[in-house]
């Protein structure tokens, strides 16, 4: 078990056959997709990978990862810390065809001979991102109860362009027919 940086690549089928595991960290600069959707990170991602085989001799990877990233709060638009935690059991497959036969408790990981472990950790963290990042209500600078400055805007009254049609419909049809004759 290593307690340093996670290796970039590994032969996960080989690791599962030998029941190898590792834990360590991955820095944000090694995860460009996560870096693009965040404002930064409070710490490196800590990840744990344990490879094994199940009763049907499938190659499995148990992964858990956590990281604190900085995102823009969607209430107050200020930076906020977001804790990301993810855990999954991945089944290493050669192609999509075998994915339909997996139990629901396994997520498919389509991979060739080697797998990029940094991208694997990044994928799990991306899946853990909140749809709408926000501070807790106590920490947020915006109360969220009003829009604008709180003053009610006065809406000017406009004349309805169809009011004249309404007046025509209200007119007595007997009088209208007498006027035409």
Q: Which residues, at least 6 apart from 78, have a Cβ–Cβ distance to it below 8 Å?
A: 72, 135, 141
Coil, helix or strand for 151?
Answer: coil
Contact 49, 30 (CB under 8 A): no
In a domain, 162, yes or no: no
Q: Provide the residue range defining the domain that includes 13.
A: 9-128
* Cα dihedral: 83, 84, 85, 89 (round 10): 180
Tokens representing 170 are: 């209200």
In a domain, 169, yes or no: no
Sign for the pseudo-dihedral over CA of 172, 174, 178, 180: positive
Question: How many domains does one find in the chain?
Answer: 1
For 83-128, the pLDDT digits (tens) are: 999 999 999 999 888 888 899 999 999 999 999 999 999 999 999 9
- The whole-model pTM stands at 0.74
Contact 137, 144 (CB under 8 A): yes
């Amino acid at each position: 078990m290593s307690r340093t940086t996670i290796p970039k690549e590994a032969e996960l089928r080989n690791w599962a056959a030998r029941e190898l595991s590792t834990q360590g960290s991955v820095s944000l600069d090694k995860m460009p997709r996560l870096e693009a959707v965040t404002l930064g990170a409070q710490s490196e991602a800590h990840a744990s990978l344990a490879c094994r085989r199940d009763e049907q001799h499938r190659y499995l990877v148990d992964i858990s990862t956590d990281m604190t990233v900085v995102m823009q709060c969607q209430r107050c638009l200020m930076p906020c810390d977001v804790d990301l935690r993810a855990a999954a059991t991945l089944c290493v497959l050669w192609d999509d065809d075998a994915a339909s036969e997996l139990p629901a408790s396994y997520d498919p990981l389509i991979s060739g001979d080697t797998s990029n472990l940094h991208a694997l950790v990044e994928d799990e963290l991306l899946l853990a991102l909140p749809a709408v990042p926000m501070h807790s209500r106590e920490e947020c600078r915006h109360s969220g109860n009003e829009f604008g400055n709180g003053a009610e805007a006065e809406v000017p009254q406009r004349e309805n362009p169809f009011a004249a049609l309404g007046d025509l419909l209200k007119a007595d049809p007997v009088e209208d027919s007498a006027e035409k004759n």
